[in-house]
Structure 1
Amino acid sequence: MPKNTGYCFREEGLLHDTGRGHPECAARLEAIRKAFADAKVEYIAIDVEPATREDLLRVHTAEHIDTIERTCKQNADYPDADTVMVKASWDAALLAAGGAIAACKAVLEGKVDNAFSAMRPPGHHAERDRAMGFCLFNNIAIAARWLRDVRGIGKVAILDWDVHHGNGTQHTFYDDDTVYYASMHQHPLYPGTGYPSERGKNNTNLNVQMDWGFGPKEWLAALDMQIIPEFERFKPDFLLISSGFDAHKMDPLASQRLETETYAEMTRRVKHLANGGIVSLLEGGYHLGALGESAVAHFNALRE
């Protein structure tokens, strides 16, 4: 019987205008929306409210939050040239973080079995005190802290299969053994972080580096032989996925060889974790066709 899978989307994400030629653009959300419509994907819409300042402060410094708000509202330049902000970016960023929380809340309250939040800007590169790599706030870290601090969830696992290492997420939880962060990412590649020697407090941090040109065989083997056994040992009460789709063979920003179906298969292989309590958040993915198709494959696997 298909699961009731929730879906978060807000139009404000389309107004976060990063400029002509920028890979992290509004067309990404349009591509996912069109792919869902074309595939006649069935979902339960989840209402999304903006994250509060209190939500953000569980991960970010007050100075960082104020800097992002001021930069957005003044249409000012930010020191990281790739991380563009306009006035509408402030609302989009609050809603992207809020979508992560809303998806978790819907799962915990039994309104849905699992959920996918298709919101932007993405988040896993954002540090405690710095925006970078297209990311303003670390949406998945904010969700994890909300699960732990507000809802009292004992242990949270974060699986990051974006092709880039989630430096911000790793740094947030490196000394916190109640959150296990595991990343599969191409190396070398931006941001140049994420080494296997970095294991975190009580071995609750894991980095699996993928060489140039790796495909489904290598990625599924890494998941099966390294990450899933670690998560099974950890016994998480909730699973969050940083679901970037930029390890796809068509993606222009990396050199991996994943197929669209690989994202469905990776999803199936982790669904038994945390008794199925899973929320997935959009991160990267910059070939519009591959992004839309991969998001559909991932979502439909959540529904199975």
Structure 2
Amino acid sequence: MKKTELFKFLDDLDSVYMNNYSESVSRLSCGGAINLCKSVWRGDIQNGVAIIRPPGHHAERDRARGFCVYNNCAVAARCLQREENAKRIMILDWDIHHGNGIQDIFYDDPDILYISVHRYDNLNFYPFSPKANLTAVGSSNAKGRNINIPWPCMGMGDTEYICAFNRIIMPIAYEFSPEMVIVAAGFDASKNDTLGMCKVSNTGFAHMTHLLKVLSGGKLALILEGGYNVEVTANALTACVGILLNEPPPPIHIGTPMDAAFEAIQDVIKIQSHYWNSLAPVYMDPHQGI
């Protein structure tokens, strides 16, 4: 297309930029995610990172959206299912935005566990959809396979994320017992990312990666998603890579989670406890620790 045609075409899409090379570059990006996941699945490597652009978790089955053309994590997971006979895949999305595309694609698939930790802000944060709320749990025989942990406001940091890991993510992950873990690794929840306005440190991301390494025999693939501060994204990703290379996680300070975060976690537990034996729908005092 000529530029005038292209820009007119993009006007009908939701937050997508393209030039004449975007489609071929997007195929390379998606192919990088596929090759990484296959290499980890086959045991050629223990784990790894796909440092790719454009990202993917907003892309839907039939349209590009939110800076994403192809849904890299979803396509890679489907390839593992269809070509490698993978039965249980966990996709954890810690990008500050809800991965609407991943959720929609696997919403009725009981073999894919999708967990997203994101800002929701009562529908006032992208992608501005009620489907990003905690009530979206999956359909038919896949109920409980979709887990949204929607933060009600900005400012969530290491304490809140580790609390979500300890109270929700890891108990469910142990019960699901995935054969492979894929992380939609956006870093816009980092401190100093002015779009996400949250406070996760490099150490926080390192500890989250360290927790995930105990699953699926260590088969772990991090696929780069969002991040709106290049230096912050690079440093956070470097901290995660260090963990994949078996460096010990640095010491981390964990305090008492924000009341808003703790209430959100409790609400998720109440809903998801209908589908997971590892979650007990009981009230816990945040001052008891995490």
Normalised by the length of structure 1, the TM-score is 0.74
3-state SS in 1 of match to 2:73: helix
In our comparison, the structure showing a higher alpha carbon Rg is: 2
3-state SS in 2 of match to 1:106: helix
1:196 aligned residue = 134
Q: Distance in 1 between matches of 2:42 and 2:107?
A: 29
Q: Does the 8 A contact of 2:41 with 2:180 survive in 1?
A: no
Deviation (angstroms), 1:106: 1.3
| Counterparts of residues 32-51 of structure 1 (less than 5 Å) | none
2:39 aligned residue = 106
Deviation (angstroms), 1:187: 1.6
Q: Does the 8 A contact of 1:236 with 1:274 survive in 2?
A: yes
Q: Does the 8 A contact of 2:14 with 2:66 survive in 1?
A: no
Q: Distance in 1 between matches of 2:128 and 2:213?
A: 30
Q: Distance in 1 between matches of 2:14 and 2:187?
A: 23
**CA RMSD between the two structures:** 1.6
277-286 vs 79-88, which moves further: 79-88
Residue deviations 1:151-192, cap 9 Å, x none? Answer: 101110000000000000001001100000000001221002
The yes-or-no answer on 1:238 pairing with 2:200 is: no
The yes-or-no answer on 1:172 pairing with 2:105 is: yes
| Counterparts of residues 36-75 of structure 1 (less than 5 Å) | 75=6
Opposite residue 191 of structure 1, the aligned amino acid is: P
Opposite residue 239 of structure 1, the aligned amino acid is: V
Deviation (angstroms), 1:71: 9.5
2:146 aligned residue = 205
Q: Does the 8 A contact of 2:93 with 2:185 survive in 1?
A: yes
| Counterparts of residues 1-304 of structure 1 (less than 5 Å) | 75-76=6-7, 77-78=9-10, 79-80=12-13, 82-188=15-121, 189-193=125-129, 194-200=132-138, 201-210=142-151, 211-304=153-246
1:8 aligned residue = none
CA change 1:129–1:81 in 2 (3 A) is closer
Deviation (angstroms), 1:91: 1.5
Opposite residue 202 of structure 2, the aligned amino acid is: T
Residue deviations 1:255-285, cap 9 Å, x none? Answer: 2111111111110011111111111100001
Opposite residue 136 of structure 2, the aligned amino acid is: E
% same residue: 36
Q: Does the 8 A contact of 1:93 with 1:121 survive in 2?
A: yes
Q: Distance in 1 between matches of 2:128 and 2:240?
A: 27
Deviation (angstroms), 1:111: 2.1
Deviation (angstroms), 1:135: 0.4
Opposite residue 122 of structure 1, the aligned amino acid is: P
Q: Distance in 2 between matches of 1:107 and 1:215?
A: 30
Opposite residue 108 of structure 2, the aligned amino acid is: D
Q: Distance in 2 between matches of 1:143 and 1:249?
A: 29
Opposite residue 204 of structure 2, the aligned amino acid is: T
Residue deviations 1:64-95, cap 9 Å, x none? Answer: xxxxxx799x7453222520111111111001
Gaps of 5+ in 2: 247-290
May I ask how many residue pairs the two structures share in their alignment? 234
Q: Distance in 2 between matches of 1:126 and 1:71?
A: 24
Normalised by the length of structure 2, the TM-score is 0.78
Q: Does the 8 A contact of 1:162 with 1:243 survive in 2?
A: yes
3-state SS in 2 of match to 1:242: strand
3-state SS in 2 of match to 1:199: coil
Q: Which has the higher contact order (CA 8 A, sep 6+)?
A: 1
Q: Does the 8 A contact of 1:71 with 1:85 survive in 2?
A: no
Q: Does the 8 A contact of 2:95 with 2:225 survive in 1?
A: yes
Q: Distance in 2 between matches of 1:248 and 1:236?
A: 27
2:276 aligned residue = none
Q: Does the 8 A contact of 1:83 with 1:135 survive in 2?
A: yes
Opposite residue 146 of structure 2, the aligned amino acid is: N
Q: Distance in 1 between matches of 2:84 and 2:67?
A: 29
